[in-house]
Amino acid sequence: MSAPEPFDAVDVIRAKRDGERVPEDALRWMVDAYTRGYVADAQMSAFTMAVLLNGMERDEIRVMTDAMIASGERMSFASLDKPTADKHSTGGVGDKITLPLAPLVAAFGVAVPQLSGRGLGHTGGTLDKLESIPGWRAALSNDEMLAQLADVGAVICAAGTGLAPADKKLYALRDVTGTVEAIPLIASSIMSKKIAEGTDSLVLDVKFGTGAFMKDYARARELAETMVALGTDSGVQTTALLTDMNTPLGLAIGNANEVRESVEVLAGGGPADVVELTVALAREMLALAGQPDADVDAALADGRAMDAWRRMIRAQDGDPDAPLPAPRETHTVTAARSGVVTRMDAYDFGLAAWRLGAGRARAQDPVVHAAGIDLLVKPGDAVSEGQALFTLSADDGARFERALDALDGAYEIGDTAPPREPLVRERISA
């Protein structure tokens, strides 16, 4: 006969429903009992809705995160003879920053254990982008990951199932119960995996704007502050940059084309906004790893970052010299009038790329690596009537119509250039 449970889920739900603080031992039990299957989905749904409506105190979020970490394994990089630094982005459109960033930071002798995910909906996934490279594999064992960090210094791979299994179960529930937006649950979801990963330091790229998970700047800032506090309370040096995601990042939106753009950055070129954000995040990571004066620009210019990229791709069985997938069909959209591009909405362009096949509607759907959008202009650029604005790529020309529907009203051409907003709006630290 099994031992009786020490708490009752209904009491925990009532406490949060009434705006009360849930005692630490009861909250730890709730997470554990849900992971074990003792607390039912219906009960955890009620609890997450109460959190969405009433919030959680900082200490409650810390306990929730710690309980989710305790549901699985904790990795350790203590055997490495170098510091570790990681980056997490809350996701956006054209956000390929992880690709050039990991090898760039590794070029300075800092290990970068980048556990990444796949795209869903309008936001792209780092692993989907890298799988455009022939032979490259996302799945590594913990031993393979450690060996690659010791040798190459950077690894971008899928997270193992052993990290924070409570989060995987809870995230799926939040997705179907309208509670994804609860900041305490977003923060504990992201940070439970990052802390369990075992990195010494962490830089968060928290995005705001139309193409971001957090549309509202104030809520994005609240999320950044909550996650920085969680990392700090858990002994991980953590900072955050609040970055603009109203316009797609760079000129490429998709998979193979984003890899191509990332390689351009590593070769010392690439779009100015991608370079700016890559350099800003690299400086943050290197400062936390004890190198505040590292010359990041020099490592892009002299080929050190590119060398690290090539070694990283080869270590995961990819061929850095192989041609990337090319689309079967393309469609170019031109300017209806002369003027200045005043707006390109990140969400709408991300949705269009998804409809072209670059993203997935369900986790099990495949992606078309050659599908996507290549921008030929950005807001602030002057254009002439008939000039090419962007090119859609797909393997099936039947996809163009729905993608063009998504882009109806997604961009504007006016008479005067829009004000130039800073890409990195604010830095949040403990």
Same domain, yes or no, for 387 and 263?
Answer: no
Same domain, yes or no, for 179 and 240?
Answer: yes
- Over residues 343-380, the pLDDT tens digits come to 999 999 999 999 999 988 777 778 999 999 999 999 99
Same domain, yes or no, for 149 and 238?
Answer: yes
Phi, psi of 366 (to 5 degrees): -80, 160
Contact by Cβ (8 Å): 393, 260: no
Same domain, yes or no, for 315 and 334?
Answer: no
Same domain, yes or no, for 387 and 312?
Answer: no
- Over residues 254-279, the pLDDT tens digits come to 999 999 999 999 999 999 999 999 99
The residue out of 256, 290, 322 marking a domain boundary is: 322
Residue 279 belongs to some domain of the structure: yes
Catalytic annotation present for 167? yes
**CATH number for 20:** 1.20.970.10
Same domain, yes or no, for 193 and 264?
Answer: yes
Q: What is the pTM of this model?
A: 0.95
- Report the number of distinct structural domains present in the chain: 3
Residue 160 belongs to some domain of the structure: yes
**CATH number for 306:** 3.40.1030.10
Edge-to-edge, what's the strand order for the sheet holding 339-344? 382-383, 339-344, 411-414
**CATH number for 387:** 3.90.1170.30
Same domain, yes or no, for 363 and 402?
Answer: yes
Residue 135 belongs to some domain of the structure: yes
Residue 296 belongs to some domain of the structure: yes
Phi, psi of 26 (to 5 degrees): -70, -40
Range of the domain at 315: 85-322
Residue 297 belongs to some domain of the structure: yes
Read off the pLDDT band of 120 (50, 70, 90). Answer: low
Choice among 129, 193, 283, 399 that is catalytic: 193
358 DSSP assignment? I
Choice among 66, 128, 167, 244 that is catalytic: 167
Residue 78 belongs to some domain of the structure: no
Q: Express as a percent the part of the chain with pLDDT over 90.
A: 90
Q: Return the pLDDT at 162.
A: 86
CA gap 285, 305 in Å, rounded? 15
Catalytic annotation present for 189? yes
Q: Is the pLDDT of residue 132 over 80?
A: yes
Same domain, yes or no, for 150 and 262?
Answer: yes
Choice among 16, 28, 62, 88 that is catalytic: 88
Same domain, yes or no, for 34 and 96?
Answer: no
Residue 427 belongs to some domain of the structure: no
Same domain, yes or no, for 176 and 251?
Answer: yes
- Over residues 186-224, the pLDDT tens digits come to 999 999 999 999 999 999 999 999 999 899 999 999 999
Nearest to 308 by CA among 158, 149, 194: 149
Contact by Cβ (8 Å): 375, 273: no
Same domain, yes or no, for 174 and 244?
Answer: yes
Catalytic annotation present for 25? no
Residue 407 belongs to some domain of the structure: yes
Q: Return the pLDDT at 181.
A: 86
Same domain, yes or no, for 390 and 272?
Answer: no
Q: Is the pLDDT of residue 3 over 70?
A: yes
- Over residues 31-69, the pLDDT tens digits come to 999 999 999 999 999 999 999 999 999 999 999 999 999
CA gap 55, 102 in Å, rounded? 34
Choice among 116, 188, 189, 192 that is catalytic: 189
